[in-house]
Structure 1
Amino acid sequence: MANALRLEILGPFEFIRGERRVAVPAGAQRLLALLALHEDGIPRRVAAEQLWPDCTSMRAAANLRSALCQTRKIGPKAVVGCDGQRLVLSPCISVDHREAWRAADRLLDGEDEVHAMPPDLDRLVDDLAQPMLVGWDDEWLAHERDRWDQMRPYALESLALHFLAVGRYLAAQQAALAATAVDPYRETAHRIAIEVYAAEGNIASALRRYEEYRRRLQRELSVSPSPRMTQLIRNLTAKWPVEHDHTLETDSSGSRHL
Structure 2
Amino acid sequence: MCRLQSGGVPRNDACLELLRPFEVTNDGCRISLSLGAQRLLAFLALQEDGAHRAAAAEQLWPDCIPSRAAANLRSALCQGRRLGSVTAIETVGPRLALSRHVRVDLHRVWESAHQVTEGVRPLPIDWTSLVSDLSRELLPGWYEDWLTVERERWGQMRVYALESLAQQFQAADQYLPALQAALAAMAVDPIRETAHRIVIEVHLAEGNVANALKRYRDYRAFLRRELNVAPSPQMTQLIRDLSPTQL
**TM bucket normalised to smaller:** 0.7 to 0.9
Aligned counterpart in structure 1 of residue 55 of structure 2, from 41, 46, 68: 46
**Cα displacement string for residues 135-177 of structure 1 (whole angstroms, at most 9, x for unaligned residues):** 1111111111111112221111000011112222221111101
- Aligned residue pairs: how many? 237
Correspondence 1:103-182 to 2 at 5 A: 103-108=112-117, 110=118, 113=119, 115-117=120-122, 121-182=127-188
TM-score calculated relative to the size of structure 1:
0.84
Residues 2, 17 of structure 1: 8 Å contact kept: no
Deviates more, 1:203-212 or 1:81-90: 203-212
> Where in structure 1 are there 5+ consecutive unaligned residues?
238-245, 250-256
Helix, strand or coil for the counterpart of 1:184?
coil
Q: Which has the greater radius of gyration?
A: 1
Correspondence 1:227-242 to 2 at 5 A: 227-235=233-241, 237=242
Task: Please state how far the C-alpha of 1:178 moved relative to its aligned partner.
Answer: 1.0
Over 6 Å off, 4+ runs: none
Task: Please state how far the C-alpha of 1:193 moved relative to its aligned partner.
Answer: 1.1
Tell me the distance in 2 between the aligned counterparts of 1:201 and 1:207: 11
> Where in structure 2 are there 5+ consecutive unaligned residues?
1-9
Which residue does the alignment assign to 1:86? 95
Aligned counterpart in structure 2 of residue 11 of structure 1, from 11, 14, 20: 20
TM-score calculated relative to the size of structure 2:
0.88
Backbone CA RMSD of aligned residues: 2.0
Residues 169, 175 of structure 2: 8 Å contact kept: yes
Q: Structure 1: which amino acid aligns with 2:80?
A: T
Correspondence 1:191-206 to 2 at 5 A: 191-206=197-212
Task: Please state how far the C-alpha of 1:3 moved relative to its aligned partner.
Answer: 4.5
Tell me the distance in 1 between the aligned counterparts of 2:92 and 2:51: 10
Tell me the distance in 2 between the aligned counterparts of 1:203 and 1:118: 27
Aligned counterpart in structure 2 of residue 22 of structure 1, from 31, 46, 49: 31
Which residue does the alignment assign to 1:102? 111
Helix, strand or coil for the counterpart of 1:81?
strand
